[in-house]
Amino acid sequence: MTNFSEILKKKEIEGDESHFQSRSRDGVPLQSLYTKEDLAKRGYKESLPGTEPFTRGPQTTMYTGRPWTIRQYAGFSTAEESNAFFISAIKGGQKGLSVAFDLPTHRGYDSDHPRALGDVGKAGVAIDSVLDMKTLFQNIPLDEMSVSMTMNGAVIPILCAFIVAAEEQGVPRKKLKGTIQNDILKEYMVRNTYIYPPKPSMKLVADIIEFTSKEMPFFNSVSISGYHMGEAGAGEALELAYTLANGIEYVKAALAKGLSVDDFAPRLSFFFGIGLNFFTEIAKLRAARTLWVEMMKPFNPKDEKSSMLRTHCQTSGYSLTEKDPHNNIIRTTIEAMAAVLGGTQSLHTNSFDEAIALPTEASARIARNTQLILQHETDLTKTVDPFGGSFFMESLTLDLMQKAREYLKEIEDSGGMLEAISLGIPKLRIEQAATEKQARIDSGEDVVVGVNRYFSGDSNTSLDVRKIDHEMVLKAQLEKLKKLKKERNQKDVEDSLQKISLVAKKGKENLIPFCLEAIRKRATIGEVSLALEKVYGRHLATHTSFGKVYSNMMEGNDEFEKAKKLVLDFDKKTGRRPRLLVAKLGQDGHDRGANVIATGFSDIGFDVDISPLFQTPKEIAKLAIQNDVHVIGVSSQAAGHNTLVPELLEELASEQSREIKVVLGGIIPEGDHKDLLKKGVSAIFTPGVSISTCAITVMEILSSNTKEAF
């Protein structure tokens, strides 16, 4: 019998240290070879699928009995267009619906609100009332179809609109199946589609858990999401730890309502992102199930399902590239396989064109077929947990758990996740990780095929992309709102809204019955949200800055050094450093790009200001003038650039401040470049352009006023 320990010891003496090679990006050891000794020293205990701690899967038979549910996350423009897309997807083999709402809906604004106008129907479907919700699910039997809704800010009025739409379809709420995300804590870390401060928001989360546990037995009350943390830059262990820590906060909130843990915990679900670190992502899902059992033990659940972590997964949007976009089909397939081998219960595969625009019918079909091929043309469903007992996978799972415990202890030591959020700890750690990741890509340490290596001559081949007719959508929504308000009983609506505010102020009763009453009387999503805002207020985030993360990893890089020199030359020539205002316009709260850019430009030598989130063009223009900046860098991830950026340019012109240059970065389809440049944008940076290249171009603009698009 081969003695691996002796062989490895001999190799160490000979100087071969490959067995102890490197570390993963999240501080988790990653060796080049694993043996049974690695399992022994980590205290590995063998287990079976369907039994605690569920490392090998929550079900005994897993996919051999029933494959994962195929979902597609969709929603755009009007409820009518999204409904047609859903019906087509169902005919194509989709088994569950996942709804994407537009940003004004997330933030509790109706489409006619002044702060909503530039974002209506852009990054999701506009839902202003129960009438829109009824249209969204027209001809879709809600007693048969599982519906997942990504909603956290305006979560109560949206859930109520869904319930009332089902009622008016003839489906009682006790028969509804699906999930409302209802995970507000992660919004304060990364995604920012919050409305109210954390404490009252947690009250709303608990109200939903309480109501659904009693009234909606087949409906999941919370989908605790790590996906957006991963998209914002968190590594696997960080995403794992923070997701589970959030989950425990929701458990505590529900228990504070007087519920028994077994009343609600079996209906909690999770949502993880799956990136390209194939084996680590598999280990992450295995570790999540095991840790959740460990973390639930202090609550003494009697029902085994209360400790059973079930999860939906979505392939990464961040890993998709604008250059050589067909490579994204391969990336998504790899990520989907990792989710399946990790034991997900349902899966959404991103479309290859989502780094450019919302997916088309054709690209969505390819994404959906990716899952159908994995289910029907491979042997992935023929055996349960093929990695069970693997020296490598079991060791990696245990290592991930240990690293996650370190992050969890930091949260615990700070007083729990709510307190950690108020201190800015999770947000800071995620933003640091995102900046490090960008530096590795910019320096070439991390290879991205077609972006920083292995370039293709036709990498910028034009694609047919989905375009939203913003004026049409906005006009349609405004007309529907006008008609709704004309036909309803306004006094009944006002009375129901006042009742919501009164109950919220008292702070004890569950708000859902009162919100259901208002929605039935045709109160809008925005009006219900405002009734709560009058009591709770609207949350304003603060930005925590940090420095030297980008420069520490880029020192000596030619482009980085060139950018620094241009900044120094500018300072010597003008007597001041170039000043940049990094801005977010409209209701787009996706701030990963903005924060990374701010850190990178600051390390290069710019004076950098960061605007508050959710600003109007007028507010950004005023801030830029007050701060005497040279250039405004607008970060756009949600398609509002065609309306909001021209408005910003007009505001600057009206204030006689045309000397302030405007550059634009983010998800900007190539077809939009010409018009934006014509209107006065000085440069456009799409995904894949390094921060140093952006800085060099900005300095050239300040020196020569040359217009370029990348």
Contact 105, 157 (CB under 8 A): no
Q: Which of 34, 63, 73, 188 is catalytic?
A: 73
Q: How would you classify the pairing of strands 268-274 and 311-315? A: parallel
Which residues fall within 8 angstroms of residue 523, CB to CB, at 6 or more apart?
129, 493, 496, 497
Alpha-carbon span 662 to 610, nearest angstrom: 14
Is 590 marked active-site? Answer: yes
Is 73 marked active-site? Answer: yes
Roughly what angle, to the nearest 10 degrees, separates helices 198-215 and 525-536?
Answer: 130
Tokens, residue 638: 């949600």
Q: Which of 284, 403, 584, 630 is catalytic?
A: 584
Which residues fall within 8 angstroms of residue 58, CB to CB, at 6 or more apart?
49, 50, 289, 308, 309, 310, 343, 345
Is 584 marked active-site? Answer: yes
Q: What is the DSSP string of 373-384?
A: HHHHSSSTTSSS
Q: Which of 194, 227, 250, 550 is catalytic?
A: 227
Q: Which of 26, 263, 324, 588 is catalytic?
A: 588
Alpha-carbon span 617 to 167, nearest angstrom: 41
Q: Which of 284, 437, 590, 661 is catalytic?
A: 590
Q: What is the DSSP string of 86-145?
A: HHHHHHTT--EEEEPBPHHHHTT--TTSTTTTTTTTTSSB---SHHHHHHHTTTS-TTTS
Alpha-carbon span 347 to 271, nearest angstrom: 10
Is 630 marked active-site? Answer: no
Measuring CA to CA, which residue among 498, 511, 603 is closest to residue 548? 603
Contact 126, 81 (CB under 8 A): no
Q: Which of 228, 539, 630, 641 is catalytic?
A: 228
Is 673 marked active-site? Answer: no
Is 539 marked active-site? Answer: no
Give backbone dihedrals phi and psi of 406, rounded to 5 degrees, phi first: -65, -45
Give backbone dihedrals phi and psi of 128, rounded to 5 degrees, phi first: -100, -20
Contact 176, 216 (CB under 8 A): yes
Alpha-carbon span 650 to 658, nearest angstrom: 9
> Which active-site residues does the annotation give?
73, 227-228, 584, 588, 590
